[in-house]
Amino acid sequence: MYNNLNELRTECLSCQNCKLCEGRTNVVFGVGNPNAKVMFIGEGPGEQEDLKGEPFVGRAGQLLDKMLYAVDLDRHKNIYITNIVKCRPPHNRDPEEDEQTACIGYLRAQTRLLRPKIIVALGRIAGMKLINPQLRITREHGIWTYTKGIWMMPMFHPAAILRNPNQTEEAFRDFIGLREKINEVCPEVYSTENS
């Protein structure tokens, strides 16, 4: 058991639970407000994230930050961002099942410590792991489910939006839906103490 995110991070930084530890520059644990009520979960670090040790700092991350900003969310103020796997899969391939299984304990522990009211799964891989193994992201993005006290929604991955810009409008609609859900279940996210 861990008392706080820093203790958990320290443990995670020396993890050798799967083969991804062999190629990493940095473990990418997570970034954000340790009291955040809204968590964003991607699939795994890419090259820039591995180099910097922070999730979503490459091109996709820059787009994510812009979309967050549009609904008054900020990784350094009122949300927390992490990934299903904390180490970069080689050549940006999808994280394999055994790697996800080896790493999921860290995500569960992060979730237990943060106790979010809302989780946004960024992309198909995170959506399948967290919401529904059969998830079809093109059909089910933006749809809320409620499980064990947490509202969950899959969204398009920002890298997918970069590849396919005609998804931008739908993606923005999902962010507007997110803002509405925040106002409904945890409006304190937008209170001044968090900004």
- Of 32, 45, 127, 154, the one binding ligand URA (CB under 6 A) is 45
Q: Which is nearer to ligand URA, 107 or 186 (CB)?
A: 107
- Of 32, 55, 95, 116, the one binding ligand URA (CB under 6 A) is 55
Stretch in the footprint of ligand URA (CB under 6 A) among 18-26, 37-45, 142-150, 179-187: 37-45
Q: How far is Cα 90 from Cα 153, in angstroms, rounded to an integer?
A: 28
49 near ligand URA, judged by CB under 6 A: yes
56 near ligand URA, judged by CB under 6 A: yes
Phi first, then psi: give them for residue 143, nearest 5 degrees: -95, 130
Stretch in the footprint of ligand URA (CB under 6 A) among 13-21, 53-61, 138-146, 180-188: 53-61
Report how many residues bind ligand URA under the rule CB under 6 A: 13
79 near ligand URA, judged by CB under 6 A: no
What is the DSSP secondary structure assignment for residue 53, as one 8-state letter? T
Q: Strand runs (DSSP E) across the chain, as ranges?
A: 31-32, 38-42, 80-83, 118-122, 145-147, 150-155
44 near ligand URA, judged by CB under 6 A: yes
30 near ligand URA, judged by CB under 6 A: no
Q: How far is Cα 69 from Cα 81, in angstroms, rounded to an integer?
A: 14
Rounded to the nearest 10 degrees, the angle between the axes of helix 59-70 and helix 168-185 is 50
The beta-carbon contacts of 162-170 under 8 Å, at least 24 apart in sequence, are 162/59, 162/60, 162/63, 170/141, 170/142
42 near ligand URA, judged by CB under 6 A: yes
Q: How far is Cα 168 from Cα 67, in angstroms, rounded to an integer?
A: 10
89 near ligand URA, judged by CB under 6 A: no
Residue ranges binding ligand URA (CB under 6 A): 42-46, 49, 55-56, 60-61, 83, 122, 159
